Amino acid sequence: MNKIIGLLFLLFIVGFGLLGIYIVDDGEEAVILQFGKHQSTVVESGMKWHIPLVQTVWKENTQEVKRMEYGFRTTSEGDSRNLSEYVEVGSESLMITGDENLVSLETVIQFRIYNVEQFFFNVDDQYETIAHAGAAAIRRVVASNDFDGVVTENRGGVEAEIHEHFQEILDRYEIGVQVTTVQLQDVNPPIEVQDAFHKVVGAREESNALINQAESYANQVIPAARGNAAETIAQAEGYKAARVAEANGDTALFNELLQTYRLGEEVTRTRMYYEMMESILPNMEKYIVDGDSGNTLNFLPLTNSKTVTED
């Protein structure tokens, strides 16, 4: 009888010991509660032991990046042969933008736990709390942006705003969670107005294409026009310089002639007269007659062959 009791006691001890064994996997951290109160935190992986019935172990992976979906739920993960399958959740996806338009928004938020003590002890129902905080951040940011900004023009900015606001909410809760990425998957107007929306988007894209085409043409024409203008200006400057130089030369020549003229005004005037007559009456015999000689004919023949003087 004593052997049986001893064997039972031994089995109880072994079973009790086995019940206290737990394993902390790589990337996991565990908190140990004793009678419901936090006693310690285990951060090293491996086989561990706690006191069964007295202590409780809560484990959470702090290296794994976790994912939450808003506006849709993935029903089947895709692979190399099949695409992922998902269903829309209309109650989550429909939101009102800052300019009072409806938009259907599907978002993926990824996060990780960096403090298991805060995660387990500061809030109840941690994942539900995170989900509500994410939904609140998304709706607040969408409500502060206009329809075009959310759908097309400012998607990156909207993602950044959601990320910042979501992290602020989690930090206020001191939940020990860090937001890693926020991605807008599908952003569309409600089904009822999608056709009109796609036409507007097409018109905007066509407008942008025409603007880009015009800017490209301007980038080609404007430099050519500037080159032509510079060439014309250079030609005008050259012509100006030539005319100024020519005028200065004429002025210098005139001043030289004026000085010569003042040295012998009568002789110079007569010479200039002869030269002018020679230039306007070329290839002709010309005679210069002195009208003050009475009946005597005095003349000076101006020819190309010879010059004759008679008294």
pLDDT of amino acid 307: 43
**Helices 155-173 & 126-143, crossing angle to 10 degrees?**
140
| CA pair distance 56, 211, nearest whole angstrom | 67
| CA pair distance 139, 96, nearest whole angstrom | 8
Q: How many helices and strands (H and E) does the chain possess?
A: 8, 13
Domains of the chain and any CATH numbers = 2-61 (no CATH), 66-189 (3.30.479.30)
- Alpha-carbon dihedral of residues 68, 117, 120, 25, nearest 10 degrees? 70
Contact yes or no for 309/287 (Cβ under 8 A): no
End-to-end CA distance of the chain: 187
Query: How distant, in Å, are the alpha carbons of 89, 92, 107, 141 from that of 104?
Result: 10, 9, 10, 14
Query: How distant, in Å, are the alpha carbons of 40, 150, 168, 180, 200 from that of 158?
Result: 41, 7, 15, 15, 21
Site of tokens 């030539």: 242
Tens-digit pLDDT string for the chain (311 aa): 777 777 776 777 777 677 778 888 888 899 998 888 888 888 888 888 888 888 888 898 988 999 999 988 888 776 777 777 778 777 788 888 888 888 888 999 999 999 999 999 999 899 999 999 999 999 999 999 988 888 877 888 999 999 999 999 999 999 999 999 999 988 877 666 667 667 776 787 888 889 999 988 888 888 888 888 999 999 999 999 999 999 998 898 888 877 877 777 777 777 778 788 888 877 777 666 665 555 544 555 555 544 444 44
Q: Which two tokens stand for residue 237?
A: 């400057």
Contact yes or no for 122/100 (Cβ under 8 A): no
| CA pair distance 60, 128, nearest whole angstrom | 16
